[in-house]
Amino acid sequence: MDFVSKYQGVVGRVFRNENSSSSEDSYVERLLDRISNGVLADDRRNGMAELQAVVAESQAAQLAFGAMGFPTLLNVLKEGRDDVEMVRGALETLVSALTPIEYGKTSKNEVQPALMNSDLLSREVENISLLLSLLSEEDFYIRYYTLQLLTALLTNSPNQLQEAILTIPRGITRLMDMLMDREVIRNEALLLLTYLTREAEEIQKIVVFEGAFEKIFGIIKEEGGSEGGVVVQDCLELLNNLLRSNSSNQVLLRETVGFDPLISILKLRGSTYKFAQQKTINLLSALDTIKLLLHGGQRNDPGKDTNGLANKTLLVQKKVLDHLLMLGVESQWAPVAVRCMAFQCIGDLVVNHPQNRDALAKKVLGEEPHFEPALNSILRIILRTSSTQEFIASNYVFKSYCENNPDGQTMLASTLIPQPHAMVNAPHEEDVHMSFGSMLLHGLILSESDGDLETCCRAAGVLSHILKDNIQCKERILKIELEAPTPTLGGPEPLLHRMVKYLALASSISKDGKASLSEAMYVQPIILKLLLLWLFDCPSAVQSFLGSRPHLTYFLELISSQTTTVCVRGLAAVLLGVCVICNKATDSGQDAFSIIDAISQKVGLTSYLLKFDEMQRSSLFTSEKPALSHKPLTRSIAASMSDIEEVYDDENTDQRNEDHPMLVMVLDPQFVFFLKELEVKIRDQMVEIYSRPKSQVAVVPADLEQQGGENDKEYIKRLKRFVEKQCLEIQDLLSRNATLAEDLARTGESGSSQLEHRVSSGSERILVETLRRDLHEIFQRLEALKAEKTRIEAESSAHQNFAAKLESDLKSLSDAYNSLEQVNLQLEREIKALKSGGAVPAPDIEEIKAEAREEAQKESEAELNDLLVCLGQEQSRVEKLSTRLAELGVDVDNLLKGIGDDVGLQGDDEDDEQE
């Protein structure tokens, strides 16, 4: 065959290298000769069996087979269909030739016989068509080996096989028919279709058109749902391949089969505390399908949002929320991965969907008489769980519930009621009888006694969702006051001040080394995020924060501290900036000007603004890492999952601490975008405030008093001079302040700390600005002159064209005059001829000639006068233009050089012709 000849040279060289055996080469050749030329059927069958055995065991034999064996075996499949045993042997041999033989680690540069043979076989579409035709054979093993052979081809050469199958009529249809075959063949066909549909959109469409949804759920029902084996996983993986980023397939599933068969997979049967590994994988695959439906399709799909909302609505109508709560909340024996995925699905289900949010808020869990709202149960998991992943997933539920939901936020905030101090040290079991808000406050202050801020940190994360973008909730929670731990410490303390206190406590614990490395990384950022969201757009919260003078001092020290992380310093700087832009106070010491003045004195404006840039350049801000990501569960990934438990356990490496899931959760994309917007507002506000004098400051020097012996008129004149002088000084100071603030803002934005690039004195800066303006004016004048030059050149070109036209008209008149002269000459010849004949009296030749010249002169005299007038006018314009061009520095002689030469040359040629 032609495609084999292309590779024989390469394969032959590889096969005959020092690591290969020439004896195996000749042995394979003899076996192929027996198969093709053997007289007895048994001899040919024995040769096929021996060939299959040697190809399955030796890479050298695989190479030799690839060089010479394909034509022989493909001929058996074409011509020898009657001999079932030979066809089986040929297919089994081909499968062995395409299966890698691994005796150990092989070099990357070493030729892989299985890959080469796969490429050889899949290059010709006729070969794939031949294999697909074998699927209609009655023999079970022929169909089975054919599917195995196609799977091996797809594993080694996926693109070539996909393209070939698409070009073969009814190629996918034949594979889909295998799903209705016996169990073993059905499973092989299912695995093959799963591989085929991972990225091939055209194949996905055909598979769906052939009724894939009905067949998939039919197989799942036969296998027993989530309790089934790996076949259910393959079915769900195939289903996910068809639904992933494809809105039209999701709509088709919703309107044909519906979501009931999918939801039934989530039902827990039998003992809920028994979760085998395969059952866990099947549940994760089904939950992955739910997530795909909730997302609705690709990001750039115009119908994504509409389709996602329709899927969310129908899924809640089908009671999927009950099953998700069962898996995530009530089945505490379920693996962590299943519980986390269930929480993620609940979050996706309620985000930006008012009806589903209300349904979640009304859900009640437990059995009578121990009923409890579902939100309370999820909050308890947040506060108690030992798994970081489970906390992040359950926290995502509250984030989704509170997003764009002011009514829900207000409802949760209304339950925040302080408990007596005796309840602070109450055991965990007591929170079962608390309301949502009481449980949350209990979590905020629970760790105060032992110094473990983990629970407080988690409660602060939930509280930040309740406060976000809700002024009413911020004002309401601002009024909450907590009792002091002991009566000797004074009266009640605002909750806002207590959170600042915990922030300082976290700093001291991390310095003393009492906290774990990972906990020190995220506790402060979470509390800072809460304070930021609380103070933003809430002047009363800003005033409460600044009401305690140590707060400002502590944050200035936090910004300057080198022991804290870049993230903590940046967030602290942004929080002080919020105190500037959201400050409505007029009291000295708490107004925006006083804060900026304190920053300038203790930190320095340049150093302060650089904290923003340091934070923006950190890996947490520059890398895009979604907080909740889930890779599709393929069979290869599932095989390596011996125990699906906590994913993040190692806290020893710096890289893992930088990418700690808790930090990624805090700095989600929405919050990062919010910080970037705040940074711009803070810079602009600082420039504006720094450009104004401090309000309501009045200083009256002693020399402003009227002196003895000074009359009123002289006193008024002296005051006027003083005021004028002060006005000039104030204007100069305002100008200097504005310039300084703008310079510092630009320095912060560029991230440069090289102060030597700045202008050292005000006079030099004024000089530079003056030179810059002069240079700008010169550039503008130069551009105007260039435009004027272009316009004059265009006008000159137009006048030159007009002069050329006049020259052409003059030439035409000259030609006419010459033609008249020729007519006169002809007439003279005729007259002479007549005279010589004597038949007619000879006219006066000189008189006729004079009359002709006179008539011609009269006809052209008027036109010549007009031309001379026009030429005079044009000559005047040309002189003016030449003068203007000379002023602009243009060489007029070079510009006019050659104009009129062509006309002169033409005139000379005509004169020569006349001569």
pLDDT digits (tens, 9 = 90+) for 730-741: 766 666 566 666
Q: Is the pLDDT of residue 402 over 70?
A: yes
Q: Is the pLDDT of residue 750 over 70?
A: no
d(CA 192, CA 144): 12
Q: Is the pLDDT of residue 706 over 80?
A: no
Q: Is the pLDDT of residue 651 over 70?
A: no
Q: Is the pLDDT of residue 703 over 70?
A: no
- Confidence band of 704 (pLDDT split at 50, 70, 90): low
Residue 624, pLDDT score: 60
Burial class of residue 620 (count of CB atoms within 10 Å of its CB; 0-12, 13-18, 19+):
buried
Q: Is the pLDDT of residue 140 over 80?
A: yes
Averaged pLDDT for residues 576-585:
91
Of the candidates 35, 29, 91, 103, the residue with the CA atom closest to the CA atom of residue 66 = 29
Of the candidates 137, 196, 209, the residue with the CA atom closest to the CA atom of residue 166 = 196
Identify the weakest region by mean pLDDT among 530-539, 543-552, 605-614, 808-817: 808-817
Tell me how crowded residue 593 is: count the other CB atoms within 10 A of its CB. 17
- Confidence band of 870 (pLDDT split at 50, 70, 90): confident
Residue 194, pLDDT score: 92
- Confidence band of 4 (pLDDT split at 50, 70, 90): very low
pLDDT, one tens digit per residue, over 411-448 is 999 999 876 654 555 555 556 668 899 999 988 887 66
Q: Judge if the upstream peptide bond of residue 843 is cis by omega within 30 degrees of 0.
A: no
Q: Is the pLDDT of residue 5 over 80?
A: no
Structure tokens of 7?
């590779």
CA dihedral 184, 185, 187, 189 (to 10 degrees): 170
Angle between helices 183-196 and 158-167 (to 10 degrees): 100
- Sign of torsion over alpha carbons 321, 326, 332, 337: negative
Identify the weakest region by mean pLDDT among 85-94, 144-153, 287-296, 825-834: 825-834
d(CA 556, CA 561): 9
Q: Indicate the residue type of 568.
A: V
The 8-class DSSP code of residue 330 comes to: I
Structure tokens of 607?
């150093």
Tell me how crowded residue 872 is: count the other CB atoms within 10 A of its CB. 9
Q: Tell me which residue has tokens 């399709």.
A: 297
pTM of the entire predicted model: 0.73
Residue 900, pLDDT score: 53
Per cent of the chain over pLDDT 70 is: 76
Residue 299, pLDDT score: 75
Q: Are the beta carbons of 788 and 652 closer than 8 angstroms? A: no
Residue 212, pLDDT score: 93
- Confidence band of 66 (pLDDT split at 50, 70, 90): confident
Q: Is the pLDDT of residue 543 over 90?
A: yes
- Confidence band of 910 (pLDDT split at 50, 70, 90): very low
Q: Is the pLDDT of residue 695 over 50?
A: no
Q: Is the pLDDT of residue 449 over 70?
A: no
Please, what is the average pLDDT of the chain?
Answer: 80
Residue 766, pLDDT score: 52
Q: Indicate the residue type of 215.
A: K
Three-state DSSP class for residue 276: coil
Structure tokens of 333?
């024996």
Averaged pLDDT for residues 354-365:
94
